[in-house]
Amino acid sequence: MFLRKTLVAALIAGLHLTAPAATQPVPKPAATTAAADAATKAHLALQALFDEAWEAEARTAPEWATLRGDLRFNDKLSDRSATALAARDAFARDMLARAQAVDVGPLKDTDRVSLVLFINRYQQEVAMQGFAGYRTLTLGTLYGAQSALAGFARNVPVNNETQVKQWLARLAAYPARVDQEIAILRHGLALGWVTSKPVLARAIAQVEGQLTEDVTKSPAYEPFARMTVDAGVKANYQTQGQAAMRELFYPAQRKLLAVMKDELSPKAPDSGSLSTYPGGDKVYEALILRHVTLPLAAGDIHTTGLREAARIRAEMEKVKAEAGFDGDLAAFKKFLYSDPKFFNQSADELLDGYRAIAKRIDPELPKLFTQLPRSPYGIRGMPPYTGEGAADNYNGPSLDGTTPGWFNANAIAFKRRPKWAMETLVAHETVPGHHLQISRQVELGELPNFRRQSQYSVFSEGWALYAETLGPQIGLFRDPYTRFGHLQAQMFRAARLVTDTGLHALGWNRDKAIAYMIEQTGHDATFMTAEVDRYLSQPGQALSYMMGELKIKELRARSEAALGARFDQRRFHMAVIDQGAMPLPLLEQRINAWILSERARP
């Protein structure tokens, strides 16, 4: 299991991380040379293992390779056949065994941390191999087999004729890929694992949204609209692209759609709770561990959510009083969601508002950090096919720096995005939230590539939620309405702890979950229904936000108490993010060592 009584736990216990050099014994020169030579040899051997895994991932997941700036496999799609998936599983088991066999004695602390993370990564993969049924649930509300190529299309490079031809090759490979996905879905049918009706309905709607009457309006055609090639050949490639859409992409999506409607829908369960699937309770335990990185019980997380919701509700009452509102909290929420003055009049106005907030934040960041990332970011609307209920999200920059970070805003839902909530969302998705943390991680060139791209939801989402709380220091939340917007976002994440665990472990049905989310947050039914369906689609992921934030707040409070006047929040923030994303136990070890080093600093 993950970080419990394993080599990983032993490694963490032995790490010094950033502990002060003064606490270490000074070796004799001969010993120093021998130790340095051994460390160098061990480092090179370990790096070779990391490189082998990195290369294998690029070859087996060429879409991911493209997104991180590795363009060698731009004409290929991932092989999702049973044979290929079995080979990937075997490779993960082999990597784990080889990593666990590494002699950690000669390794420097930085290499030990990398090994911990590498082992943990493959422990997660191998652990999920035991849940064959769950792994067939490849359809989702925001991400999934039904939208993978369409979502990928807006991020592929088409800066020359070679890259345009590569996108054509990927379209040509798509029908075979769909056949593989259909085989996975049918395998799930045989195992008693079928996507629930609410999630399946959203996936079906997404496929239908991609099958526009005009093929040039379909998201998979988007690369042909923005390609940068000579005018003399552009029309020809667009003609080829339209033909590929009609003859390859559309038929494949219609085939997938037919399977979803004719084979899956009749067997789809009304409830998407993992507790209703065979062995689903064990799956949820594993997913809590995966997303929270701590062996916590669902009931304990549920209780934490209720406690945090009560605390935030009390803060909301104070802000309501500051606003001078005469009425209860429910009436105040209704007012905030109904008065036209709180809403933008168009998608463009919403996007412009987000960009204006980002420009206000950028110059304030030196108050919070000693170093800032160089990677730029942009703000753009999400494709319409994702629907009004889809959650805003962020894509990080590529390793080579050619692709910026992107805040993908659901602009078509501008009527449901109040102005008083915009500052919090920008802080979360861009800076000092996701973009700052993830782009900083990407730029840590001294780390192995896999660490520069590592993803721990509890770390990244926890950081982004914590980053929201820094808003008052950078000019945000200057009035009661935007302060309430921040509290409402906090309430949203607390309610997720209650709802996700309620759905998958405590017997809640979908209607109860939706009603609870509406009551606690004040959001409308359309958005909250989409959110609950997301929790059905991605069990456990919604737990990572507040659980991660609470840990970072705990570590900050510990640091402030230990350091007193010596505490510098800019240095604390760098200590949190400057080794990339990591599990919470390792982050805690790191901050404990940082406290010691700060005490010893002149």
What's the pLDDT tens digit per position in 469-502? 999 999 999 999 999 999 999 999 999 999 999 9
Residue 240 and residue 290 in one domain: no
Tokens at 128, concatenated: 């999920």
Give this prediction's pTM: 0.92
Is 197 inside a domain boundary?
yes
pLDDT higher than 50, residue 19: no
Is 567 inside a domain boundary?
no
Residue 351 and residue 272 in one domain: no
Residue 254 and residue 323 in one domain: no
Residue 113 and residue 150 in one domain: no
Is 595 inside a domain boundary?
no
How confident is residue 602, by pLDDT bands cut at 50, 70 and 90?
confident
Which amino acid is residue 367, in one-letter code?
Answer: K
How confident is residue 28, by pLDDT bands cut at 50, 70 and 90?
low
Classified as helix, coil or strand, 325 is coil
278-305: average pLDDT? 98
Domain closes at, from 85, 104, 128:
128
Cα 42 from Cα 108, distance rounded (Å): 9
Pair 582, 591: CB distance under 8 Å: no
Tokens at 83, concatenated: 């044979």
Residue 365 and residue 232 in one domain: no
Pair 256, 182: CB distance under 8 Å: yes
**Polymer length in residues for the chain:** 602
How confident is residue 31, by pLDDT bands cut at 50, 70 and 90?
low
345-349: average pLDDT? 97
How confident is residue 6, by pLDDT bands cut at 50, 70 and 90?
very low
Pair 218, 384: CB distance under 8 Å: no
Strands 393-395 and 405-409: antiparallel
Domain closes at, from 277, 303, 327:
277
Is 36 inside a domain boundary?
yes
Among residues 434, 474, 586, the alpha carbon closest in space to that of 116 is found at 586
How confident is residue 29, by pLDDT bands cut at 50, 70 and 90?
low
Cα 200 from Cα 176, distance rounded (Å): 22
φ, ψ for residue 377 (rounded to 5)?
Answer: -140, 160
Cα 509 from Cα 499, distance rounded (Å): 10
Taking the CA of residue 228 as centre, how many other CA atoms within 13 Å lie in the half-sphere pointing to its CB?
Answer: 3
129-150: average pLDDT? 96
Q: Where are the alpha helices (DSSP H) in 329-401?
A: 329-338, 347-361
Residue 37 and residue 181 in one domain: no
Residue-wise pLDDT for 526-562, tens only, equals: 999 999 999 999 999 999 999 999 999 999 999 999 9
Residue 511 and residue 399 in one domain: yes
Task: Please give the residue range of the domain that contains residue 184.
Answer: 134-277
Cα 340 from Cα 582, distance rounded (Å): 43
Q: What does each C-alpha distance from 394 to 100, 380, 405, 496 come to in angstroms?
A: 34, 10, 7, 19
pLDDT higher than 50, residue 349: yes
Is 297 inside a domain boundary?
yes
Residue-wise pLDDT for 223-263, tens only, equals: 999 999 999 999 999 999 999 999 999 999 999 999 999 99
Pair 173, 77: CB distance under 8 Å: yes
Is 225 inside a domain boundary?
yes
153-158: average pLDDT? 95
Pair 107, 46: CB distance under 8 Å: yes
Pair 154, 408: CB distance under 8 Å: no
Sequence-distant contacts of 509-517: CB under 8 A, at least 24 apart: 509/271, 509/273, 510/198, 510/270, 510/271, 510/272, 510/536
Is 590 inside a domain boundary?
no
Residue 83 and residue 171 in one domain: no
Domain closes at, from 277, 310, 343:
277
pLDDT higher than 70, residue 78: yes
CA 121, 124, 130, 133 torsion-angle sign: negative
Classified as helix, coil or strand, 395 is strand
Place of tokens 């009083």: 321
How confident is residue 30, by pLDDT bands cut at 50, 70 and 90?
low
DSSP secondary structure letter of residue 245? I
Residue 249 and residue 298 in one domain: no
Pair 390, 323: CB distance under 8 Å: no
115-140: average pLDDT? 98
Q: Where are the alpha helices (DSSP H) in 101-249?
A: 109-128, 148-153, 161-191, 197-210, 222-226, 231-244
Residue 189 and residue 294 in one domain: no
DSSP secondary structure letter of residue 381? E
Which amino acid is residue 91, in one-letter code?
Answer: F
Residue 369 and residue 477 in one domain: yes
According to the model, what pLDDT value does residue 402 have?
Answer: 87
Is 587 inside a domain boundary?
no
Cα 397 from Cα 593, distance rounded (Å): 30
Which amino acid is residue 355, in one-letter code?
Answer: R
Residue 318 and residue 229 in one domain: no
Q: What is the mean pLDDT of the chain?
A: 94
Pair 462, 548: CB distance under 8 Å: yes
How confident is residue 387, by pLDDT bands cut at 50, 70 and 90?
confident
According to the model, what pLDDT value does residue 21 have?
Answer: 39
According to the model, what pLDDT value does residue 36 have?
Answer: 83
Cα 305 from Cα 156, distance rounded (Å): 39
Contacts of 364 (CB under 8 A, 6+ apart): 473, 474, 475
Reduced to 3 DSSP states, what percent helix, strand and coil does the chain have, rounded to the nearest 5? 70, 0, 30
Q: Provide the number of structural domains found in the chain.
A: 3
